[in-house]
Amino acid sequence: MSVHFDEITIKTDGEVDIIDITNDIQNIISKSKLKNGIVCVFVPGSTGSLTTIEYELGLIKDLPRALKKIAPKKEYYNHHETWHDDNGH
């Protein structure tokens, strides 16, 4: 079994930033010359996340609004008491 490793670095503005990495991943796959396999994408850190979702202009507006309703920044979160990093939302 062949293994190929590569990485991309993404700079964000933070909090509910939505970035389409499809082309980045496709370029890495193409560069690897592998024809079959599984792609594993990993985000280090506790506040980053990955999702598979249709990347379109309406979503770029809707998803952050939904996340802000689900976990408003100004609410009290017990998590803040543990690490005092104010990222419980």
32-52 tens-digit pLDDT: 999 999 999 999 887 888 888
Asked if residue 25 lies in contact with residue 39, where contact means CB atoms within 8 angstroms, the answer is yes
Position 86 confidence tier, pLDDT thresholds 50, 70, 90: confident
- 0.85 cut: is pTM over it? no
- Distance from the Cα of residue 9 to its chain's centroid: 12
Q: What pLDDT score does 33 carry?
A: 93
Residue 79 CA to residue 83 CA, distance in Å, equals: 7
How far CA 81 is from CA of 15, 32, 76, in Å, comes to: 20, 45, 10
Please determine, for residue 89, whether its predicted confidence score (pLDDT) is greater than 80: no
